[in-house]
């Protein structure tokens, strides 16, 4: 059962601890992004990538079949996995086939969904995270707190202490020295590993090309140093042609970090002699998003993190409050849909529906509408709202459907408010309201009553 951790708002997350204070960081990122976005015809590009994604999702099965055909024609092997069990089994089979004992991993949110690290470890295979943030978080035994910046919640001194303890180096909090230490350790890993795993930002149906976008170079090294490259790709990543890619590249980096382009845009086009390439195509609940026409648009997501960066709720609670792999607005949509509304019914309600997420989204996904739709699904599934709430809503609806009922309810509410006020009583919602806010006073005469009196007096 996923509970939204609202207590995190009391945690130190949103008070500055050094320059890593979450809200300040997020504000800076959003400001940088807006500068970068003004350099391109941003709204036009948004519309274009939205349309390409709409076509791609509408033709998903055909495009996946074409991708498989082309990837295979160029010497790769495509495997399909409905869930973590199947994905893990494929991965281990590949390792066994190629005699692999250690694996280097580029960043892949899908691999987090599948709990791949745990599955590999159980199978006796050591997976090493190579993305610096993921490497830090792995060393610390924690989960990533943001999809683009996994170690956002740690300050430099946190990392310094961690490295001193786990890597046996002398304590330093200088990011350059820390990076050098990580780089040295990871170099060895790349060279020794029998297999490298990456995710995929895009899969090109036309040529079976796998596109990986990154800044550090660890994706390139994970894919190219070991003799075997395994790509883990969600079904929704496939787009039709290579020529469809440039608009996505132009919005992705700008929305994610405010860069014009990420440092590396890899296009892997098939294993060369002496190498092997696999692509594991993963469902893991994505077809559930597809099956509901109102959540289908969530599959247009290109995992840039922009909605997360701008969300006022995320800024106050951080990435672990959302209970699963994806935080923020996109997490609040995909998690209930993928793991089941009964298990994550609270998430769509942990939002003021301000709409900033859609405004930032480079693909213009209608996240607020999807959130309110999922609220409805939660109510229908009786996954949220107790009998008391249902009775209250029912009574409210009856009061709102006719004038006499409304007037009776208004009178009753006014009377009730005065009684509560007289006794200083604050049941449930009133107590919650008035912890930091004064309660608005019930007017002696409602507008409707005033108007009626006015009319009577001419």
Partner 1 sequence: MGEAGTSRRYSQGERVAFFMPCYADMLFPQVGKAVVTLFERLALPFEYPMEQTCCGQPAFNSGYWDEARAVAQHFADVFRPYEWIVVPSGSCAAMCRVFYDYLAPESDAAAVGARVCDLATFLVENVGITDVGARFPHRVTYHDGCHGRRELHAGDAATTLLRAVKDLEYVELPAIEECCGFGGMFSVKFEELSTDMGAQKCANARATGADVLVSGDSSCLMHIGGMLAREDAGPKGPAPHMRTMHLAEVLASTS
Partner 2 sequence: MADLYPRAAILARIATALRDEPARALPEPQPIFGAEPAADRATLAARFRDELKALSGEARFVATAQELPGALAQFLKDREIASAACQNSIAVRWALTRLPEGAAFSAADADKLRVAGARCAVIAAEALLADTGSVVAAFSTSGERLLPYLPRTCIVIADESRLHSHMTLEALAPLYARARAGERGEFVIITGPSRSADIEKTLVLGAHGPQFLVVFIVGVTP
> According to CB under 8 A, which one of 3, 97, 267, 453 is a site residue for partner 2?
267
> According to CB under 8 A, which one of 246, 312, 411, 416 is a site residue for partner 2?
246
82 binds partner 2 (CB under 8 A): yes
Per-residue contact track with partner 1, 110 to 149, x per CB under 8 A?
A: ----------------------------------------
- Judged by CB under 8 A, the stretch of 243-251, 300-308, 317-325, 430-438 that binds partner 2 is 243-251
Shortest distance, position 287 Cβ to partner 2, whole Å: 4
- 247 vs 318, beta carbon nearer partner 1: 318
Q: Among partner 1, partner 2, none, what does residue 163 contact (CB within 5–8 Å per kind)?
A: none
Residues of span 347-376 touching partner 2 by CB under 8 A: none
> According to CB under 8 A, which one of 388, 427, 440, 458 is a site residue for partner 1?
440
Closest CA to 302 of 348, 234, 370: 234
456 binds partner 1 (CB under 8 A): no
Calculate the alpha carbon distances from 306 to 107, 118, 302 in Å.
17, 29, 10
> According to CB under 8 A, which one of 1, 273, 436, 456 is a site residue for partner 1?
436
Distance CA 300, CA 298 (A): 5
Distance CA 420, CA 393 (A): 21
Distance CA 77, CA 69 (A): 10
Distance CA 30, CA 309 (A): 7
Residue 227: which residues within 8 A CB-CB, separation 6 or more? Answer: 98, 194, 195, 274, 275, 276
Shortest distance, position 364 Cβ to partner 2, whole Å: 14
162's tokens: 């961690």
- 217 vs 385, beta carbon nearer partner 1: 385
Strand 126-129, strand 195-198: pairing? unpaired
12 binds partner 1 (CB under 8 A): no
Distance CA 79, CA 281 (A): 6
Q: Among partner 1, partner 2, none, what does residue 332 contact (CB within 5–8 Å per kind)?
A: none
Residue 396: which residues within 8 A CB-CB, separation 6 or more? Answer: 409
Shortest distance, position 209 Cβ to partner 2, whole Å: 6
Q: Among partner 2, partner 1, none, what does residue 456 contact (CB within 5–8 Å per kind)?
A: none
Closest CA to 10 of 350, 347, 310, 318: 318
> How many helices (DSSP H) and strands (DSSP E) are in the chain?
21, 10
**Which H/E stretch holds residue 176?**
helix 175-192
391 binds partner 1 (CB under 8 A): no
Shortest distance, position 101 Cβ to partner 2, whole Å: 17
Per-residue contact track with partner 1, 333 to 352, x per CB under 8 A?
A: ----------------xxxx
159 binds partner 2 (CB under 8 A): yes
Residues of span 273-332 touching partner 2 by CB under 8 A: 273-275, 281, 283, 287, 290-291, 293, 296
| Alpha-helical segments (H) within 16-155 | 22-37, 42-58, 60-73, 84-98, 109-113, 116-122, 132-139
> According to CB under 8 A, which one of 5, 8, 25, 342 is a site residue for partner 2?
25
Q: Among partner 2, partner 1, none, what does residue 267 contact (CB within 5–8 Å per kind)?
A: partner 2
447 binds partner 1 (CB under 8 A): yes
Count of CB atoms situated within 10 Å of the CB of 273: 5
418 binds partner 1 (CB under 8 A): no
Residues of span 257-316 touching partner 1 by CB under 8 A: 312-313, 316
| Cα torsion through 386, 389, 393, 394, rounded to 10 | 60
Q: What distance lies between CA 231 and its chain's CA centroid?
A: 20
Shortest distance, position 446 Cβ to partner 1, whole Å: 5
CB distance 442 to 414 below 8 Å: yes
Shortest distance, position 387 Cβ to partner 1, whole Å: 13
370 binds partner 1 (CB under 8 A): no
382 binds partner 1 (CB under 8 A): no
């Amino acid at each position: 059962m996923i509970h939204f951790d609202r207590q995190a708002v009391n945690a130190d997350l949103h008070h500055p601890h050094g320059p890593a204070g979450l809200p300040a960081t997020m504000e800076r990122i959003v400001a940088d992004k807006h500068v970068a976005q003004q350099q391109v015809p941003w709204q036009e590009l948004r519309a274009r990538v939205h349309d390409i994604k709409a076509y791609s999702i509408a033709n998903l099965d055909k495009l996946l079949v074409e991708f498989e055909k082309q990837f295979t024609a160029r010497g790769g092997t495509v495997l399909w996995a409905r869930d973590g069990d199947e994905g893990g089994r494929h991965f281990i089979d590949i390792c066994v086939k190629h005699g692999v004992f250690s694996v280097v991993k580029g960043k892949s949110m899908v691999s987090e969904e599948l709990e791949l690290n745990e599955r590999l470890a159980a199978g006796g295979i050591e997976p090493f995270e190579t993305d610096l943030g993921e490497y830090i978080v792995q060393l610390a035994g924690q989960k990533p707190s943001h999809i683009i910046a996994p170690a956002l919640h740690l300050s430099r001194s946190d990392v310094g202490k961690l490295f001193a303890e786990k890597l046996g180096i002398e304590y330093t909090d200088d990011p350059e020295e820390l990076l050098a230490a990580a780089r040295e350790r990871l170099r060895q890993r790349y060279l020794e590993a029998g297999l490298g795993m990456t995710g995929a930002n895009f899969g090109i149906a036309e040529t079976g090309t796998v596109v990986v976008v990154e800044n550090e170079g660890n994706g390139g090294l994970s894919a190219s140093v070991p003799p075997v490259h395994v790509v883990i790709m969600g079904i929704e990543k496939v787009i039709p042609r290579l020529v469809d890619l440039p608009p996505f590249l132009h919005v992705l980096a700008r929305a994610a970090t405010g860069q014009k382009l990420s440092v590396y845009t890899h296009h892997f086009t098939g294993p060369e002699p002496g190498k092997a390439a696999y692509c594991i195509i993963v469902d893991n609940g994505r077809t559930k998003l597809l099956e509901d026409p109102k959540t289908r648009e969530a599959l247009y997501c290109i995992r840039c993190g922009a909605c997360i960066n701008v969300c006022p709720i995320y800024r106050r609670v951080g990435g672990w409050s959302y209970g699963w792999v994806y935080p923020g607005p996109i997490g609040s949509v995909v998690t209930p849909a993928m793991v089941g509304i009964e298990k994550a019914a609270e998430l769509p309600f942990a939002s003021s529906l301000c709409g900033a997420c859609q405004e930032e989204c480079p693909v213009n996904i209608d996240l607020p509408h999807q959130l309110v739709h999922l609220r409805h699904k939660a109510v229908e599934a009786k996954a949220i709202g107790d009998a008391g709430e249902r009775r209250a809503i029912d009574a409210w609806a009856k009061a709102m459907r006719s004038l006499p009922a409304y007037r009776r309810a208004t009178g009753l509410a006014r009377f009730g408010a005065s009684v509560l006020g007289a006794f200083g009583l604050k049941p449930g919602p009133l107590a919650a309201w008035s912890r930091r806010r004064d309660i608005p006073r019930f007017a002696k005469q409602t507008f409707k009553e005033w108007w009626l009196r006015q009319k009577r007096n001419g």
